[in-house]
Structure 1
């Protein structure tokens, strides 16, 4: 993506760590949690790969259509899964945003991710508004969960079963999505 190398590396680290935690969450016992965590892990690692600074690695021309295809498939999966839960609609929007960013990067001069001024401003703005609202809503929802979880007396959840950590992951990926969209 566009931007400075230091912010790019911070974004890579944030997304990769979030993707890793989501992989751990996939070991949860609930089928619904495993599916959501798998989609979030894919999103985290995909965002990390897209955020690598152009000075370090410029993907070949064929990489952007591959990103678009992978996230289009993830979007179709989210659309199918949305019939059982509204959270999958967020995954659908996220996958759509990743497809959009990959297509913008494929169309940018030289297929590099260090140039600016590309993309459809109205679509980019709509995605920015959606993810900014998502970040604010997720942040508000995180506060009460952290206060309740810290109160003690409850049963400690197993590996990957802590809802406040899952929300924190979603919050960090939402912030990363806003940062990536801002650089388009």
Structure 2
């Protein structure tokens, strides 16, 4: 992406750590959680690679079109499985955003948007609004609910990879990462 090196490396670390935790979540006994974790791991690692600052290396010409193909496939898969749950619609938007960013990088690998005018292109603005709303809603969902904390027993605690609050935090961090990446294109 086209941003300063230090925040870029922090974004790489955040996305890679999120992708690694999602790989751990793939060991869950719940099949739907495993599938969602796999999609999120792909997104986390894909975002980590895409966020590597341009000053670190110059990708080959085929890298961004390959990204578009990989995340285009992920978008088609998300569209297919969205029949069973609305959470997959978020995966669809995320994968489509990755395709869009890869297309922008293909068109203009060194200078951000290839559009001649000033301002933010409509699609970028729409994606920024979506991910800003997603981050806000995800953040609110992480807030503790009064009275629910004392009712859990140690014997019924979920496994480390099955904890819903960690999965929500993972999604929140990827939403923040997506916002940061969209701001730099």
For Structure 1 versus Structure 2, the TM-score category normalised by the shorter chain is: over 0.9
Partner of 1:38: 38
TM-score between both structures, scaled by the size of structure 1: 0.92
- Equivalent pairs counted in the alignment come to 180
Counterpart contact for 2:22–2:40, Cα < 8 Å: yes
Cα offset, 1:2, TM superposition:
1.2
Distance in 1 of aligned mates of 2:106 and 2:146: 41
Question: Could you report, residue by residue, the CA deviation over 1:45-86 in whole angstroms, capped at 9, with x for unpaired residues?
Answer: 000000001111111110000000000000011011101110
**What SS does the corresponding residue of 2:142 show, helix, strand or coil?**
helix
Counterpart contact for 1:146–1:164, Cα < 8 Å: no
**CA RMSD in angstroms, aligned pairs only:** 1.8
Distance in 1 of aligned mates of 2:151 and 2:50: 39
- Please show how residues 15-26 of structure 1 align to structure 2 within 5 Å: 15-26=15-26
Cα offset, 1:158, TM superposition:
1.3
Counterpart contact for 1:28–1:159, Cα < 8 Å: no
Greater Rg over alpha carbons, structure = 2
Q: 1:68 to 1:129 in 2, by over 3 A?
A: same
Counterpart contact for 1:135–1:171, Cα < 8 Å: yes
TM-score between both structures, scaled by the size of structure 2: 0.92
Counterpart contact for 2:104–2:113, Cα < 8 Å: no
Partner of 2:112: 116
Question: Could you report, residue by residue, the CA deviation over 1:75-105 in whole angstroms, capped at 9, with x for unpaired residues?
Answer: 0110111011100000000000000000000
Partner of 2:65: 65
Partner of 1:84: 84
Q: Can you give the 5+ residue segments of structure 1 that lack an aligned partner in the other structure? A: none
**What SS does the corresponding residue of 2:160 show, helix, strand or coil?**
coil
* Bigger mean CA deviation after superposition, 152-161 or 134-143: 152-161
